[in-house]
Chains A and B, each alone.
Chain A
């Protein structure tokens, strides 16, 4: 009798636990974006030009260096930060300065930005500045029809002319 009660008590603990596992293992469902929303992803890896060009070292400068360090050119490694601007239907929704990676600030600048947007037709403009100064070096503008649940990926590949829109 006592053994039966013990088994019943164990079952009373185990069965609700299993029901709990069975339910929360796959429910309730989660929607990362709203039912009538699409997703815009702006992501790129790009190395801006060096901040300063290479210059030739003078004979005096070379003489001051150790013999194994006497490179004719002095090339500062630091790159300029990128300035990125994303405009959606005439409104700037992202404006960010993206610094180059690395202790010497000589690596790639990287960006990943996720933006849920209402589904439908949108005028999207994206711009990038890679050199200090005013204005932008790259820009692209397009009208895009975004269906609910679809993703627009905006990438940047300088070799392919700049921004790429991938639906």
Chain B
């Protein structure tokens, strides 16, 4: 589950959209009937679908925050990942705004509390020419047009969130926006079970003359309201804006020296586009008939070198120059290391991703990523005396560069260029491959 938090976020968003659109069919957007129209929903509609809508919103918050914490803990926010990180920050605001406004539609005392708390918070920052809270103070101030605004916000904010989510994954090749089927079905089934076991209920109807004595608030989405009353609107502004500024500044605050990015050799690049297709960060584009590296996006993972058809050790040139290569660990360096390994210990050659678990033995050939290894190197080793060749990657689903294992698996299975030739048999055990000639 932890490996699919981003994809689960997308799943929950679509679940929220589908359930929300269905609920809207029966929702009456008027002051007089909004509360009643929700209360009249049948158990299977109001009880289950509405509950799923609400619990999915809570699960969305948890999944998004867990995604943020996981990426933060793994250090995946700086350098070439800064764009994805920074573009994710406004999504937090949009997520909370979408959820909080959704509660107002119910027009119960929880809605009253939340709308007034939000209005008081905005007034604390001087937002709006007039205090927004005045709209909620008495029955005479509240008109059906206010509901049109609520509905507009509860549709517009999630649409803005969706647009932001699209931007958020723009710098990723093959973004994981679809959760694996088993996990998706499991999550939906568990939300349905929760909705059946504990259907959500409206509170008493909105009463502008009363302060609700004890409100069942949603702590995932509405935690900021009690926090504001425990401190002050100014303190909450300072906290939210401070946290936002910190998240945005983090890529610069925790900056690290970047390794040298991939370079293209014009003489050896034929513009085939394999490196463009395989780059996990959309850092390469074709300009004319030649690859071009966008330096600020490049992770220096070497996957492009592994994809290049010119990265074959069988080429009879003294200096092996690939169409695209890492200056700090060239394909020529790899061939030299392989030749040294074959001379020293021909019984076993091991290619190992530098982020793979387990210690790197003395003779192992270290790679930035398993997909940096062109499959022709395996055949080369076997043809030049190696009795056993192994290639070890990161743990399944934990690839440092997102797609290394996936791309390697496709290349070794002959499903992706450059593929492993049919005369080599690949056997996979978890994150390690063993190769032998047929």
Contacts and interface: CB of A to CB of B under 8 A. Distances in A.
B308 to A, nearest CB: 37
B358 interface: no
Given A14-B190, A25-B54, A114-B120, A30 B215 contact: yes
A151 B210 contact: yes
A21 B197 CA distance: 12
A22 B215 contact: no
Contact of A21 (B120, B123, B211, B220): B220
Interface residues of A, number: 39
Chain B interface size, as a band, is: 35 or more
A22 B214 contact: no
Nearest to B213: A149
A59 interface: no
Interface in A27-74: 27, 29-33, 35, 38-39, 41, 43, 45
Contacts of B190: 14-15, 18
B59 A26 contact: no
B60 to A, nearest CB: 10
B213 A31 contact: yes
A107 interface: yes
A18 B191 contact: yes
B1 A14 contact: yes
Contact of A35 (B133, B213, B225): B213
Contacts of B62: 17, 20-21
B18 interface: no
Interface in B128-153: 129-131, 133-134, 137-138
B187 interface: yes
Contacts of A91: none
Nearest 9 CB-CB pairings of A with B: A112-B131, A26-B216, A29-B214, A24-B219, A21-B58, A39-B211, A18-B194, A22-B198, A30-B226
Interface of A: 10, 13-15, 17-18, 20-22, 24-27, 29-33, 35, 38-39, 41, 43, 45, 101, 107-108, 110-112, 114, 148-151, 153, 155, 166-167
Given A25-B200, A153-B138, 5 more contacts: A15-B190, A30-B226, A33-B213, A43-B131, A150-B210
